Structure 1
């Protein structure tokens, strides 16, 4: 199983159209990703809520189709 870069990018860009998104496939298996997301939507939002926003963008696929996602989120400087 796993989630392709294209699918993950689609989910994230739909939720965060203004974002700068960098994806790294940590294990080469489409199942362990790192996402760095810089979005104005994160301004003034606590980190835990930022990560919840990302999980919401994945529409229930986290923990099922997608096994692991390391997150780095922040608002633009």
Structure 2
């Protein structure tokens, strides 16, 4: 899988204002800014992303995704 595909999956799963994905084809690292994270703790933000991509993990299409940052738009501006 390519980084562009992972980015597209994230953007389709969440209302994002910013998504950056890096990776080597099997393990990916993402930074996400989304209003969906409002009021959520860090662990809940990570769960939200992983839950929304669950089908892709279960199918083996997406192997590993580490979240480097999950911020709200307001947090990203400060």
TM-score, with length taken from structure 2: 0.75
By percentage of residues, which structure has more helix? 2
By percentage of residues, which structure has more strand? 2
Instruction: Write the deviation string for residues 39-68 of structure 1: whole angstroms up to 9, x where unpaired.
Output: 111011011111111112214222622222
Measure, in 1, the Cα distance between the counterparts of 2:31 and 2:16.
13
Partner residue of 2:52 out of 50, 53, 57: 57
TM-score, with length taken from structure 1: 0.76
CA RMSD of aligned residues (A): 1.7
Q: Give 4+ residue runs of structure 1 displaced > 3 Å after superposition.
A: none
- For structure 1, the residue ranges without an aligned partner over 5 or more in a row are none
Partner residue of 2:70 out of 38, 58, 73: 73
